[in-house]
Structure formats: structure tokens, C-alpha cells
Amino acid sequence: MGEPRVVERFKKRTIWFHWIHTAAFLVLIVTGAILFIPGLGSAAAGGLTRLIHRIAVVFFVGLPVVYFVFNPRMSLHFIKETLTWGKDDLDWAKVAPLYYFGGDEEKMPPQGHVNTGQKMWQFVVLGTGILFLVTGFVMWFFKGSVAPGIFQWCVVVHDIAFILAFLMLLVHIYLGIIHPRMTESLRSMWDGKISKKYASSHYGKWYDEISASEK
């Protein structure tokens, strides 16, 4: 601690986007789980939670669209980052279990703007986002007009996406808030900045790039 936090990690609008989107996502999880997880279902009586699910969908889908329209280059960069996988990621994946469950940090390879684990989260967010969108769209607008078998599979795929996204979100929250080593993570999603020391130790390759371009 005490380090001056001067390295810009996230832009203000990205931070706003992240937190409003999170709010919509949490509402979707709760109202979705009420339909899916046995025992919670009675909360759906009367259909209010289903209506809330749909209202949240408007934000969940609308926000990325708006963000994309106003920041096409940043958004495309994010998508490219999410889809670019290389040797560093393989190395990371090999030693990650040792680090997370063995406490061995020495072998962690230097990482770019986001590490492999974060990239996995980005991938899950994008991938399940598309699954949610396609299957949810069918369930919303084509209930009764599409063949029952297709509707049924949409429900199942929506459920699979739910399990993936929800469990990975828990990992995401855990690493962002609770994990003892991610000391500046949450604050970086608040004011957008991290210290040089944190940047170099967590995102070495990225830090080297930005310090080179500063000179």
C-alpha cells in the first residue's frame, strides 16, 4: 500500500459500464435462478420476477450496444483481446493450479493487460452473452410459435449458460474482492488506477509496453 496509483487501467466510462451492467446481470441471475433452481420457484408466482427479468434484459443488451456505438475501437479491441490466445496463456494455464492451490507464484509468466484467467472470464461473458441472447430471444418472442422441441432446447442452453456465467462470476467476484493478493483490483474498478508496482507484478508485459510508449 501507500504506493502512488498513477497507471490508468480503466476509463471512467468503462467503469460506469461495468457497474451498471453488473447490476443488470445480478438482477438477471436472481430472477432467472428463481425459475431454474428447485425450491426458489414460488417466488415467481404471479409472474413479477419474469417481468423484471425482461426489464433487466433491456439494460443487459442495450448497454453493450450503446457502449459499442460510442467506443467502437475500444470495444473491438476488447473483443480482439478476448479472442487472442497464445503461448503465454498456455504457460499460465500450466502453472495456475500450482499457484492457486499450491501457493507457488514463482513460475507465473508475465501477463498482458489482462491475465489468462481474466481473459477466460471475458470469454465466458462474451460467449454466454451470445447464448443468452439467442435462446432468450426465442423464449421471449417465439414461445408458442416455434416447435416445442426448439423451445425446450433453448431453455436447456439458457440454463447451461446460466451455470457457466454464474459460477465464473463467483470466481470473478472472489478474485476481485476477496483474494488476498488482488490488492488493487477492486479500487481499479472504482477510480481506474493502479500503482506501478501492482502493474508490474500483475501485468508485466502490459506494464513494459506502456512504460516503453511513455518514453
Partner 1 sequence: MQLNRRDFLKASAGVGGLVLLQPAVLAATNEFPNTSAPQSDIAMLVDASKCIGCWWCYAACKNYNKLPETIKPDPEQAPELSPDVWTTLHTTKRDGEWIFRKQACNHCTDAACVEVCPTGALSRNKLGFIQYDKDKCSGCGYCAEFCPFGVPQLDSNKLTGAAVMDKCTFCIERVTNDQQPACAEACPTGAIKFGRRSELLEEGKQRVAELNNISSKGYLYGENELGGLHVMYVLDDSPESYGLPAAPQVPPTSIVRNVFQWVGIGGLVAIVAGFGLNYIIAREAKITSELPGKEQMGRGKRNG
Residues that bind ligand HEM (CB under 6 A): 18, 21-22, 25, 28-29, 32-33, 35-36, 50, 53, 57, 60-61, 114, 118, 121-122, 125, 132-133, 136-137, 139-140, 155, 158-159, 162, 165-166, 169, 172-173, 176-177, 185-186, 188-189
**CA 128 – CA 145 distance, rounded (Å):** 25
Please enumerate, as own/partner, the contacts of 90-93 that have beta carbons within 8 Å and a separation of 24 or more: 92/116, 92/117
Contact at 8 Å (CB) between 101 and 133? no
Rank residues 90 and 167 by Cβ distance to ligand HEM and give the closer one: 167
| In the complex, minimum distance from the CB of residue 81 to ligand HEM, in angstroms, rounded to a whole number | 9
3-state secondary structure at position 147 = coil
| In the complex, minimum distance from the CB of residue 131 to ligand HEM, in angstroms, rounded to a whole number | 8
**CA 199 – CA 210 distance, rounded (Å):** 10
- Pick one of ligand HEM, partner 1, none as the site partner of residue 123 (Cβ within 5 to 8 A by kind): none
Where do runs of H (alpha helix) occur along 10-147? 12-36, 48-70, 72-83, 87-102, 116-141
| In the complex, minimum distance from the CB of residue 22 to partner 1, in angstroms, rounded to a whole number | 19
- Pick one of partner 1, ligand HEM, none as the site partner of residue 108 (Cβ within 5 to 8 A by kind): partner 1
